[in-house]
């Protein structure tokens, strides 16, 4: 009946779907890693007085943003960015599928309107049937 066109767009759309899910999974894993490392790293720095004496500015920085607070802030930030990236990639994929569907449905409608006759030459539209 109607051939499938735009194989490269279909492939790109599928690729963007896969990339969206990969970004989501990696982002969630990364967010939990930041949370765990923030909590563990803050505990390690606070229990090491030699490190605090060697770098007092590091002690101030870890006191403000280290430990649980730093881990939670990093976790929330990474989750938000991950969700935004996922939605953008998934929406791009869906948008390309909409374009392909509109083109396919337009050709299908032209085929039915012409009474099922193929166009005279490839790429040309058949004239509408006379009423």
Please name the residues in contact with 20: beta carbons below 8 A apart, sequence gap of 6 or more: 85, 86, 89, 90, 93
Residues 31-74 have pLDDT tens digits of: 999 888 888 776 655 555 655 555 555 555 555 556 778 888 98
Residues 20-33 have pLDDT tens digits of: 999 999 999 999 99
How many CB atoms sit inside 10 A of residue 65's CB? 14
């Amino acid at each position: 009946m109607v051939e499938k066109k735009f194989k490269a767009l279909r492939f790109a759309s599928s690729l963007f779907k896969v990339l969206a899910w990969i970004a989501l999974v990696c982002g969630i894993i990364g967010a939990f890693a930041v949370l765990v490392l923030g909590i563990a790293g803050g505990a390690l720095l606070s229990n090491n007085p030699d490190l605090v004496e060697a770098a007092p500015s590091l002690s101030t920085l870890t006191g403000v943003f280290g430990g649980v607070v730093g881990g939670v802030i990093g976790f929330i930030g990474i989750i938000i960015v991950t969700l935004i990236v996922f939605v953008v990639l998934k929406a791009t994929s869906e948008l390309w599928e909409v374009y392909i569907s509109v083109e396919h449905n337009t050709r299908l409608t032209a085929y039915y309107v012409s009474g099922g006759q193929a166009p005279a030459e490839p790429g040309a539209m058949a004239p509408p049937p006379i009423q």
